[in-house]
Amino acid sequence: MAKGKKLTTRAENYPEWYNELVKKADLAENSEVRGCMVIKPYGYAIWERMQAILDQMFKDTGHVNAYFPLFIPKSFLSREADHVEGFAKECAVVTHHRLMASPDGKGVVVDPSAKLEEELIVRPTSETIIWSTYRNWIQSYRDLPLLINQWANVVRWELRTRMFLRTTEFLWQEGHTAHATSEEAIEEAERMLGVYAEFAENTLAIPVIQGLKTERERFAGALETYCIEGLMQDGKALQAGTSHYLGQNFAKAFDVRFANKDNKEEFVWATSWGVSTRLMGALIMTHSDDEGLVLPPVLAPFQLVIVPIYRQDDEKELVLNKVAELAAELKAAGIRVKLDDDDTKKPGWKFAEWELKGVPIRLAVGPRDLANGKIEVARRDTKTKEVQDLDDTFIERMKKLLDEIQFSIYERAKNFREENTTQVDSWEEFKAQLDKPVPGFIFAHWDGTTETEEKIQAETKATIRCIPIGNPAEEGVCIYSGKPSRQRVMFAKAY
């Protein structure tokens, strides 16, 4: 079935471009359940690769996986005051455990006699259920550290949803670690921030700023929230991962103590950290263009697509034999290859389709090329084409080209971010920068108060994305209040 492949351009309407791209590239679609998406096979294949790479990074840093219940008793959520405050307003609540035939004979209704004694919350995050479990697992310093990760679905009843970026249900991983000292917990939170930053840059090819959230932007229940922030092509920031130092808050709420080396009882120190299917949104908005998705080769389900071109039947056999051979050689070299030999589609249709789906390299092979030992190589990221020799070094050159594309799209995104990072020193400059088509990251002085932060947001919609790690000290005055400031912080409009 023919599909309209043309997208609204980014310049015309960026949010619309994003929605169309997600749907037309077969990444995801909205489901019939409010705010929940269906992740389609092509989108899920990218997520699976993200999972596999991250999972190995977690294991390499000493973590193991486990699985905790989907449901959280309502009373658990209330134990940590900030935590319940942060999540109570967006909870899916299970109140009954049975349906029955409707008395009017039409369909089914909730069986009122099957009301739960205590309501269950579909987990918005799992600190409470996990720390109630850790109480039984931790007695002594010898049981620490506990370094556990969980791959799971979570539910937050968001008012406004957008595929991948903010959905009622989403997929994520959540690490929950327990430590004997505050220092160790902080070290862990920072280590995992580093893992996320490395993953974002090397795998997603997204340059990120690592930093600390302000008190106001912290995770509900955390003493410190670390984050990585990427800059999207419309000049808005996207928080791509967070790592929290939780102090002893959850240990106190769930009474998790341990005997230290001096045999004295102490509350346990905690961290938690997570990334989600939101990363798919970051990936799309960092690299893609008006023709569709641009995928980093490390994540692409197909790294290279071969489109055979022929007219007569004798040409067909010749070309198909040759591309099948070539595909086998490329696969043997470890490249993920799609040979698109579908007879019902024209080459032009296929070019547009694989462009839309972001396959990094496209080879087009016709009978004349073959006769001359040539092949057309097209790069998705730069949209450049080149006729190359189909010789002994071809496979090796394709491997190098994939590496080059991975590097090149990262560099492009990094240059974009640098071009769109500014320092401003006055309220007027600040507002003017935010009014530009691509406002970007704005470094400005801030007086350090939540009050000022809130006023700035109310007036401009910009928020403090983070206080970058290793931020240089610099005396100055707050752009809003004029009060003294000792460092610039990073502002942006954000997803």
Query: Which positions lie near its own copies, rule CB under 8 A?
Result: 1, 29, 31-33, 36-41, 44-45, 47-48, 64-78, 84, 88-101, 107-108, 110, 119-122, 129, 132-133, 136, 139-140, 142-143, 148, 152-153, 155, 157, 169, 171, 344
Q: Which is nearer to its own copies, 37 or 364 (CB)?
A: 37
Return the number of the residue (152 or 413) whose C-beta is nearest its own copies: 152
CB of 231 to its own copies, least distance (A): 28
**Omega within 30 of 0 (cis) for the link into 301:** no
Question: Exposed, middle or buried, 421 (CB in 10 Å: 0-12/13-18/19+)?
Answer: middle
DSSP 8-state code for residue 262: T
Nearer to its own copies (CB atom), residue 128 or residue 460 = 128
CB atoms within 10 A of CB 317: 11
Closest CA to 125 of 159, 95, 161, 80: 80
Between 98 and 346, name the residue whose CB sits nearer to its own copies.
98
Whichever of 48 and 391 has its CB closer to its own copies, that residue is 48
- Nearest approach, Cβ of residue 319 and its own copies (Å): 23
What whole-number distance in Å separates Cα of residue 78 and Cα of residue 73? 9
Please list the residues that pair with 403 across neighbouring strands: none
* 398 contacts: CB under 8 Å, gap ≥ 6: 304, 330, 333, 335, 361, 377
Nearest distance from C-beta of residue 246 to its own copies, angstroms:
20
CB neighbour list of residue 366: distance below 8 Å, 6 or more residues apart = 308, 309, 310, 315, 319
- Cα–Cα distance measured from residue 233 to residue 382, given in angstroms and rounded to the nearest whole number: 16
Q: How far is the CB of 99 from its own copies (least distance, A)?
A: 4
Residues 6+ apart with CB under 8 A from 39: 27, 28, 47, 171, 277
Place of tokens 């029955």: 100
Q: 401: part of which helix (H) or strand (E)?
A: helix 394-419
Report, in Å, the least distance between residue 295 CB and its own copies.
17
CB of 360 to its own copies, least distance (A): 20
Please tell me the distance from the alpha carbon of residue 240 to that of residue 219, in angstroms, as a whole number: 14
To its own copies, the closest distance from the beta carbon of 288 in angstroms equals: 21
CB of 260 to its own copies, least distance (A): 14
Q: Nearest distance from residue 452's CB to its own copies, in Å? A: 28
* Closer residue to its own copies in complex, CB, 57/212: 57
Residue whose CB is less far from its own copies, 145 or 440: 145
> Residue 29 or residue 201: which is nearer to its own copies going by CB?
29
User: Which of residues 9 and 95 has its CB atom nearest to its own copies in the complex?
Assistant: 95
Nearer to its own copies (CB atom), residue 139 or residue 248: 139
* Shortest CB 486 distance to its own copies, Å: 38
Task: For residue 346, give the amino acid letter.
Answer: K
Q: How far apart, in Å, are the Cα atoms of 132 and each of 26, 116, 255?
A: 40, 21, 8
For residue 338, the Cα-to-chain-centroid distance in whole angstroms is 26
Can you spell out the DSSP letters for 195-213? HHHHHHHHTS----EEEE-
Instruction: At 361, give phi and psi (nearest 5°).
Output: -125, 135
How long, in residues, is the chain? Answer: 495
The distance of closest approach from Cβ of residue 341 to its own copies in the complex, given in angstroms and rounded to an integer, is 15
For CA atoms 259, 139, 186, 131, the dihedral sign is negative
Q: Which one, 100 or 332, has the nearer CB to its own copies?
A: 100
Nearest to 320 by CA among 340, 303, 302: 340
Least Å from the CB of residue 2 to its own copies: 11
Pairing state of beta strands 99-101 and 169-179? unpaired
Residue 155 or 375: the one with the smaller Cβ distance to its own copies is: 155
Strand 484-485, strand 441-445: pairing = unpaired
